[in-house]
A and B are shown apart, each in its own frame.
Chain A
Amino acid sequence: MLSNLGNSLLFLNAIFSFIIIYFSSKSIKSVGETIPSKIFKISLIQTSFVMSCFFTLVAAFIISDFSLVNVYENSHSEKPLFYKIAGTWGSHEGSLMLWIIILTIFSFLFLIKNKNHPKNYRLYTLIFQNIIILGFLFFILFNSNPFATVSPVPKEGLGLNPILQDPALVIHPPLLYIGFVGSSIYFSAAMASLVTDYSEKQFAYSIKNWVLVSWGFQSLGILIGSIWAYYELGWGGFWFWDPVENASLLPWFAMTALFHSVIVLEKRNQLYFWVITLCLMTFILSVTGTFLVRSGILNSVHTFASDPSRGVFILIFLSLMIFSSIYLLFKKYKTSNSFINSNSKETFVLINNWFMLFYLLTVLIGTLYPIITDALTNNKISVGPPFYNAVIFPVVAVFLFFMAIGPNTKWIKNKFNDIKNFLFFLASALVINFLIVFFFKSYTVISNLIIISSLFLIISTMFDLVKCFKNSNFDLARITSHLSFGFLVLFIGLNHNFSIEKDFNLKVGETISFDNYEIKLKRLSLKDFSNYKAVIGNLEVKNMKLGEVNILSPEIRIYDNPSTLTYEAAIKTNLIKDYYLTMSNIDRSEFYNIKFQKKPMMIWIWISVIMLSLGGFLRVFKNANNN
Chain B
Amino acid sequence: MQTTIKILTLTFFLFIIGIFYLSLNKEKSYNTKSLVGKKLDKIILERFDGNDFLDVEELKKNDFTLINFWASWCGPCRLEHSTLMILNKTSKLKLVGINFKDKQVNAKNFLKELGNPYHFIAKDEYGKISINFGVYGIPESILINKELVILNKYIGPLKDEDYSQIIKTIN
Residues of A within 8 A of B (CB): 291, 295-297, 299, 306, 308, 311-312, 315, 318-319, 322-323, 326, 330, 333, 368, 371-372, 374-376, 587-588
Contacts and interface: CB of A to CB of B under 8 A. Distances in A.
A386 B75 CA distance: 36
Contacts of A326: 9-10, 13
Interface stretch (B16-24, B38-46, B60-68, B98-106): B16-24
B168 interface: no
B19 A372 contact: yes
A376 B23 CA distance: 9
Contacts of A311: 20, 24
Nearest to A284: B13
A588 B75 contact: yes
Contacts of A323: 13
A587 B76 CA distance: 11
> 8 closest pairs, A vs B, by CB?
A375-B22, A297-B23, A311-B24, A375-B23, A308-B24, A375-B19, A322-B13, A319-B17
B112 interface: no
B17 A587 contact: no
B170 to A, nearest CB: 34
Interface in B58-94: 75
Interface of B: 2, 6, 9-10, 13, 16-17, 19-26, 28, 75
16 contacts: A295-B20, A296-B28, A297-B20, A315-B20, A315-B24, A322-B13, A322-B17, A323-B13, A326-B9, A326-B13, A333-B2, A372-B19, A374-B23, A374-B26, A376-B19, A588-B75
Contacts of B2: 333
Contacts of B25: 308
A322 B21 CA distance: 15
Contacts of B28: 296-297, 299, 306
Nearest to A315: B20
Contacts of A295: 20, 23-24
Nearest to B13: A322
A431 to B, nearest CB: 47
Contacts, number: 50
B24 A368 contact: no
Contacts of A315: 17, 20-21, 24
Nearest to A373: B19
B114 to A, nearest CB: 16
Given A326-B10, A330-B6, A318 B17 contact: yes
Given A297-B20, A311-B24, A326-B9, 13 more contacts: A296-B28, A299-B28, A308-B25, A315-B24, A318-B17, A322-B17, A326-B13, A333-B2, A371-B19, A371-B23, A375-B19, A375-B22, A376-B22
A297 B20 CA distance: 8
A291 B20 contact: yes
A67 B26 CA distance: 33
Q: Is the interface of B mostly helix, strand, loop or mixed?
A: helix
Contacts of B10: 326
Contact of A368 (B13, B16, B75): B16
B136 to A, nearest CB: 13
A368 B17 contact: no
Contacts of A372: 19
A299 B27 CA distance: 12
B29 to A, nearest CB: 9
A297 B16 CA distance: 13
A587 B28 CA distance: 30
Nearest to A314: B20
B87 to A, nearest CB: 26
Contacts of B13: 319, 322-323, 326
A584 B75 CA distance: 18
Contacts of B23: 295, 297, 371, 374-375
B24 A297 contact: yes
Contact of A587 (B19, B20, B24, B75): B75
Nearest to A319: B17
Contact of A312 (B9, B22, B24): B24
A297 B26 contact: yes
Contacts of B24: 295, 297, 308, 311-312, 315
A330 B10 CA distance: 11
Nearest to A326: B9
A308 B25 CA distance: 7
Nearest to B28: A296
Contacts of B22: 375-376
B59 to A, nearest CB: 27
A291 B24 CA distance: 10
Contacts of B17: 315, 318-319, 322
Contacts of A333: 2
Contacts of A376: 19, 22
A306 B6 CA distance: 34
A299 B28 CA distance: 8
A296 B25 CA distance: 11
Nearest to A364: B16
Contacts of A375: 19, 22-23, 26
A295 B25 CA distance: 10
B77 to A, nearest CB: 12
A297 to B, nearest CB: 4
B1 to A, nearest CB: 10
A368 B19 contact: yes
Contacts of A588: 75
Most buried by A among B2, B6, B10, B20: B20
Nearest to B16: A368
A291 B6 CA distance: 25
Contacts of B75: 587-588
A312 B9 CA distance: 22
Contacts of A299: 28
B66 to A, nearest CB: 26
B75 to A, nearest CB: 6
B28 to A, nearest CB: 6
A346 to B, nearest CB: 23
A306 B29 CA distance: 11
A322 B16 CA distance: 11
A206 B33 CA distance: 57
B41 to A, nearest CB: 15
Contacts of A296: 28
Contacts of B20: 291, 295, 297, 311, 315, 318, 371
A214 B82 CA distance: 63
A308 B9 CA distance: 27
Nearest to B5: A330
A311 B17 CA distance: 11
A164 to B, nearest CB: 21
A312 B20 CA distance: 9
Contacts of A312: 21, 24
Contacts of B21: 312, 315
A374 to B, nearest CB: 7
B101 to A, nearest CB: 15
Contacts of A297: 20, 23-24, 26, 28
Contacts of A319: 13, 17
Nearest to B17: A319
A339 to B, nearest CB: 19
